[in-house]
Amino acid sequence: MAGISGLACDSVHGSESALDFSNNSTNFAYITDTTPRPLPSNDTINVSVYNLTDVFSGVSADIVLLDVDGNNVSLIQNAIDSGNITGELIPLTPDAKYLSTVDDKILENVSSYWTYSKENLRRLLVYLAVELDRRADLKVEQPLRTSILLVVLPNADTISGIVDELGEYGIDCRFANLTALSMVGRNEMYAQYVIDEIENFNGDIIFEYVADRQYSLYKNAIENASNRGVKALGIGGFSSQQMYAYNVNNSSTILKKLFSRSSKSPGYWRTVLPENLKRMFIYIAWTVDERADLEEYVKPTMVVPPSALYHPDGPSCTYMNDSYDHLFLSWDDFFDWYVDSGHYNPEGKWIGIVMYYRDYQEGKLYTEDAMIRMLEDDGYNAVACYVPWRHPITQFFINNTSRVDAIISFNFFGANGPWELLDECDVPVLKAISLSYQTYDEWENNPHGLHGLAITWKVDQPEMDGVICPIATEARITEDDYMRYPINDRLRRILGQAEAYANLRHVPNSEKRVAIIYFNHPPGKHDIGASYLNLFESLENVLNALNSSGYDVKPMNSTELQNTILIYGRNVGSWAPGELEELADRVILLDASLYERWFSELPQEVQDEVINVWGQPPGDMMVVERDGRKYIVIPAIQLGNVLLAPQPARGWEEDLDRLYHDLTIPPPHQYIAFYLWLQKSPDDGGFGAHAVVHMGRHGTLEWLPGKMVCLNETSYPDLLLGNIPDIYPYIVDGGGEGIQAKRRGYATLISHLTPPIAQSGLYGELQNLKYNLERYQHYKEIGYAEGMNQTRQSIIEVASDMHLGEELNLTLTNETFEDDVERIVEYIENIASETIPYGTHTLGVGPSEEKAVMFIETMYTTELMNLSYTLLNISEVSGLEGLENRSKAENMTKWLAEEIVNCSTFGQFKNSVEQKTNQSIDDEILNNTINNIFENCKETLTLLNASGELENLIQALDGRYVPPSEQGDPVQNPAVLPTGRNFYGFNSKKVPDPTTWEIGKKLADQMLVDYYKEHGYFPEKIAVTMWSVETMRHYGVMESMVLRLLGVEPDFRYSRGAFRKVGNDRVIVTPLDELTVEINGSIV
């Protein structure tokens, strides 16, 4: 037990044998405005307790103890000034310190005694009697205190919040450099700071709870401390759970009490409520430091309800003999209270909030509380809950049907799913993001927004569950602040989106106003459409689907739509003022003065940016004058409550392609006016859209200036979309750009089928170049330097092999790379836009006849070619010799694909094959092969049925959940079928890829070299910890390293020279002569 430096503990004033104890007495007055602490009295030390009402009646004693706070201190001051309190004044609180009549050194010592321990309180009275009343008959004793060094990272925030309270029990906890502890995982050089703290610690107890790797760094220092007599106990790495204790009696029982994972008898550490961790440290002091004075404060561990509903105004509930504030254990209990307490709005929709289960325990609920208050102020009913990690977040929200109309979830990783359960609840799930690696200012000042380390587990993985709208909702104010506080304007955005989705479930379809936005880039009649989507036929199908679902809309056929859009629904460039004047007489005109009012309500920073580039509102683009007033032209076609309109022009600079993706130039006034008009209610002069539908890849909203992920209020996509739900039919192989729409445009994607491949766009080196460019951008966003370096080198090499430098008049080097890479991207996009697959896709219409045959032929090329060789009884031979055989097999493959499409049963197909080849198929193996191919192809044709595209579009507009899917070319990744789902970006079939394989090889080889140099031999066994987050972040670098260490390599599959996928059913054994490393100039 630690004592007070400089305090005499074993001496008394005068000689004990010469004193008459019976006549010695010290009177204490204890004035308190709270529950009195148990100060003991006896014949020689008398304590009288007073409350605030007593002090003006007169308080006189040898020593007066002042246990008062806040405004009550001034009352004591008045009583002192009026002579009603006399004696030596000892303040026991910081607020009352200025009333002290004793030396600061005495106050410092008093603070060490002043705890809840009765023994310490007794010793305090003795110390003061000796020090101030010159009681030579008494012996001063050190206060009982326990010092604990925390080598702990999990729960550090919660522990920090109870350090002061633990001091009230005589327990002094401090971290072994918390900053260094938190940084070691990223850079092990920080471990030395922690080790220094351990080596210099001469207190009572070291308590450890860190990850396995960190423990291995601190282990020797902890053992050395135990050799000095320091008591130590810990987990030995929280993955391995190798519990240990040094210099501790009854250690096995104590360790079990601390760390047991039993659900029936969990250890203290399993519940991270501040109250429970306080109990844990009291238990440690009582048992490990043998503090018998704390025995009356030792309590069993709290067992928090594993799942519960929460409301900040709710009463407490009892669970396992402990009380838990604001929790309800069942929906019925919550609902009864919600109604009886007056919170319930019978007309209001329900919004569910899923809290991270530990936030309740740690008391980090400022944001959830604010959300609940704001929702209820808006007239909605709010219900929050938490569930065990990876348990269904819908646990309280389903009772045959959903009890809520939308869900906002704070969960991360893959803890929101599986998606099948979310599909059962069938409401949108929005992602509230807590900023983990950034303070509020760091996030605001970061042009990328969310820290790259958090994107994988806070955005990527939730998207795989079908979660939408990733919005930053809370952040720490400073690095040292362990609490997170709501970002109010971001709360308003995520709540606004949730409320809008909830409204879609209740507003009758006949009353819903939907804006369907298509792309007209650049302005004019000739560039209206979407990437590989038959726009006019797709619009016809969408209007028919809306009409069938009860929307107030006038259907039109594709020809009528095309003619009408070309006349009324197109942007007009500055080069055609006559056309603009003619158009203005037929479409919507927005009064410029109304727009100017809306514009003035935007953040000042945005106003300044727009005016600096485009001038004062309303600007010059799409502006006409009528009767001396200016109007902004909105070339929209209103068909009942459904609006068809082109997305406004991004600008009319010469370099239109660069402007299309430019993230620095703000949109012009007409662009801003259009989206604000969609947001504003009809009463305020706007359209009042309940939802927007952006038709096909891709628009410009998601490419406007602002943060990349987790936008702020000055990010233009967030500002212009506002709270309008964005439903976005998008080509299923548009992964990179579609993810932009999800994250920057808050889009619920509705994947649509690609056209079949006849003569496709980028192949061979061009495809590899595009793939590496996308990967380089990903590594750049997350700050992964090794990936950037390796990928940059691959791009430079491919560009050199293709002689792009000569064609684009540039010299691509590491130094010029950042300046020139945009020109290469534009080059790739231009080539891709000139290369068109076979036709276009019509939304909601699956391929038939020729297109169906083409899909089967390309998706089953290998299987059908092999079968063709067998049926024709010819061999596959390479080179010139095999050209004729290959031609025959290709013709047979096409015929087989046609027959599969045309035949309804296997019997018909088999009979047709026998007639074609003039043979009877009696061989069982061949028969089974043909049957398997036929059945697989027929299943694929069923999946190619695109009806889900329209069904899920309508479902999204009904405020329902859209299931997730992978993205990619259906030929390369059939898992994207059926279409009509909300695709995400990660594709496990491309992990690892050729680039990450090279990085992983390099890491493995370097690790072996380093080990050899240090030990003189190679390791016999190597353990590697794998994290799914790292797999998604680095696309399989660690997996590649493991494969290299095993002496095998991935089976990369290519199509037309381009990387397609990695085989998951086999690996390739690396020849021994290639398993070498260079050490000190020699090959080993």
Confidence at residue 654, expressed as pLDDT on a 0 to 100 scale: 35
- Give the count of beta carbons closer than 10 Å to the beta carbon of residue 654: 6
Counting Cβ atoms within 10 Å, is residue 914 exposed (0-12), middle (13-18) or buried (19+)?
A: middle
pLDDT at 905 over 50: yes
pLDDT digit string, tens, across residues 279-324: 999 999 999 999 999 999 999 999 999 899 999 999 999 998 899 9
Domain spanning 343-504: which CATH class is it, in words? Answer: alpha beta
Q: Tell me how far apart the alpha carbons of residues 677 and 681 are, in angstroms, rounded to a whole number.
A: 8
146-297 and 343-504 share one fold: yes
CA 222 to chain centre: 36
Distance CA 700, CA 691 (A): 18
The token duo for 155 is 């729960």
pLDDT tens digit sequence for 385-430: 999 877 888 899 998 899 999 999 999 877 777 889 999 999 999 9
Which H or E run contains 591? strand 588-591
Write b or e for each residue in 750-783: b if 16 or more Cβ atoms lie within 10 A of its Cβ, otherwise e.
bbbbbbbbeebbbeeebbbbbbbbbbbebbbebe
Name which of 694, 745, 746 is nearest 953 in CA terms. Answer: 694
Q: Identify the residue with better confidence: 184 or 373.
A: 373
Q: Where are the domains of the chain?
A: 16-133, 146-297, 343-504, 510-749, 764-834, 989-1083
* Residue 1064 pLDDT greater than 60, yes or no: yes
pLDDT confidence of 887, banded at 50, 70, 90? confident
Greater model confidence, 797 or 597: 597
Which residue type sits at 997?
W
pLDDT higher than 60, residue 812:
yes
Instruction: Determine the Cα–Cα distance for residues 250 and 928; give it in Å rounded to an integer.
Output: 68
Residue with the larger pLDDT of the pair 385 and 657: 385
Q: What is the mean pLDDT of residues 361-383?
A: 95
Mind listing the pLDDT tens digit for each residue in 4-32? 544 544 433 332 323 333 448 999 999 99
The DSSP annotation for 335-350 comes to HHHHHHTT---TT--E
Residue 811 CB burial class (10 angstroms; 0-12, 13-18, ≥19): exposed
User: Pairing relation of β-strands 1048-1055 and 429-439?
Assistant: unpaired
Confidence of residue 115 (pLDDT cuts 50, 70, 90): very high
Provide the β-strand partners of residue 150.
Answer: 175, 207
Query: What are the strands, taking DSSP E only, across 249-343?
Result: 308-310, 317-319, 322-324, 327-328
In 3D space, the residue among 156, 102, 109 whose CA is nearest the CA of residue 9 turns out to be 109
Query: How does pLDDT run across 690-736, given as a tens digit for each residue?
Result: 999 999 987 899 999 999 999 999 999 999 999 999 999 999 988 87
Distance CA 374, CA 377 (A): 5
Neighbouring C-beta atoms of residue 135, cutoff 10 Å: 25
Q: Which 3 state secondary structure label does DSSP give 912? A: helix
| DSSP β-bridge partners for residue 638 | 643
Determine how many CB atoms are found less than 10 A away from the CB of residue 206. Answer: 24
Q: Which tokens belong to 98?
A: 């200025």
Q: Does position 882 have pLDDT exceeding 60, yes or no?
A: no
- pLDDT class for 618, splitting at 50, 70, 90? very high
User: What is the predicted pLDDT for the residue at 837?
Assistant: 67
Q: How confident is the model at residue 1056 (pLDDT cuts 50, 70, 90)?
A: low
Most confident by average pLDDT, 193-197, 478-482, 982-986, 1076-1080: 193-197
pLDDT at 798: 85
Range in 2-6, 175-179, 239-243 with the lowest mean pLDDT: 2-6
pLDDT band at residue 349 using 50, 70 and 90 as cut-offs: very high
46: Cβ contacts below 8 Å, ≥ 6 apart: 25, 26, 27, 28
Radius of gyration (C-alpha) of the chain in whole angstroms = 36
Q: Assign domain 146-297 to a CATH class.
A: alpha beta
Residue 7 has a pLDDT of 55
Q: Which two tokens stand for residue 806?
A: 């000569």
Residue-level pLDDT at 12 = 34
- Overall average pLDDT of the 231-250 stretch: 92
> Which pLDDT belongs to residue 20?
36
DSSP string across 808-828? HT----TTTHHHHHHHHHHHH
782 vs 383, residue with greater confidence? 383
Q: What is the mean pLDDT of the chain?
A: 89
Q: Computed from CA positions of residues 679, 683, 686, 692, in that sequence, does the dihedral angle turn out positive or negative? A: positive
988: confidence class by pLDDT, cuts 50, 70, 90: low
Report the pLDDT value the prediction gives residue 974, as an integer from 0 to 100: 87
